[in-house]
Amino acid sequence: MLVLIVVLIVLLIVLPLVGWTLWLLLSAALVGLVIGGLARLVLPGRQDIGILSTIVIGWIGSVFGSLLGRHVAHTGTFLTVLIEIGVAAVLVAVASSAMGNVAARRNASLRR
């Protein structure tokens, strides 16, 4: 009887929570990849950041852009997505310039 209760708890409570958490992580990564990729397309030139940085920056831009668009400016869905891409583009520009500064310092130290 106790084994049946434990199995039911695992099946009805634990597994759905794990599945929900995995779905949340995967959807956040997908949204981050799309928004980060669009932000990198908006910016001219080359950005020296990796795919993981793009996903994280895209996700952060999506969260803050959504907050600004929906709750501060009270815009519709399309304008909110544009704000998300804009915020992510600013973050990509800041991150790529920071990476460029690190690379320039490393190259300058190698020349000495």
Q: What is the pLDDT of residues 8-39, one digit of tens each?
A: 888 788 888 888 888 878 887 888 889 888 88
Q: What is the pLDDT of residues 39-60, one digit of tens each?
A: 888 888 888 888 888 888 888 8
30: tokens are: 């997908």
* Of 36, 66, 63, 34, residue with least CA distance to 49: 36
CB 32 within 8 A of CB 87: no
pLDDT at 101: 62
Pure H helices in the chain = 2-9, 15-42, 51-66, 77-111
Residue 67, SS3? helix
Q: Where are the domains of the chain?
A: 29-111
